[in-house]
Amino acid sequence: MADRVLKYKSKRTSLWIKVLFLVSILFSSKSFAQEKIIPPTNEAFLRQTIKDVLEDCLKDAPIDSQMVWVKEEGENPSVWIVREEIVSFLPKTGPVGVGKKEGQESSSPVLSYRIIKLNLEYPEIKRKKLFGKSWVKRESQVAISFSLSDPDGKILWSKRGERKNSDLLRKEELLSLNNRQYPFLCPEIPQSTWGRYVEPAVVTVVVGGLIYLFFANR
């Protein structure tokens, strides 16, 4: 009779060991070797969205090959990144001037732009698998209005462009992609509501199983 009880306990212990082993695999952060794709930094990701807007809008601007002055309207702490992309884009059409002073005479047209929206955020955090890694959705939104005027201030052309891009990132990658020097390139990371409730419940079950095994085998 004692041998049967011992065998029963041994089988039960073996079963629990297998269960705990499977749970440990589910929680393990290691995976099989696979090609790792390095995502673009937040700055590069936002710049690409700005480039998409410029490509959509400025290709239609009647600038030809003449020189054009670039002028920003309004105030925005992230205006520098848009200005850099515009100055980089316009040489495809001709020379570019920046910093034209009020009253300065020039026979060249002026390309004015106003930043309506320039956001980069992490709107959502989720898991692809039940106990898999956390993935964060990254989203950039850019909206800019443009106008081209002659030296006398007459509007020759105007257009507004808007683009939205998104991708998925591993949560552990975010620190290397953020740029803490500029707040708009270092958005707040959302908290997972799934992990807040489910993970503690799973841990409780596992710990409870270990306590049960401890007393069952005494």
Which residue ranges make up each domain of the chain?
A: 40-187, 190-218
Q: What was the pLDDT predicted at 18?
A: 55
**Span 40-187: which CATH code?**
3.30.160
Read off the pLDDT band of 184 (50, 70, 90): very high
pLDDT level of residue 6 (50, 70, 90 thresholds): very low
Q: What is the pLDDT of residues 67-114, one digit of tens each?
A: 888 999 988 888 999 999 999 998 766 656 675 656 566 778 899 999
pLDDT at position 3 is 52
Q: What is the mean pLDDT of residues 26-47?
A: 70
List alpha helices for 64-156, DSSP H.
79-89
Strand-pair category, 68-73 with 110-127? parallel
Residue 150 phi, psi (nearest 5): -80, 175
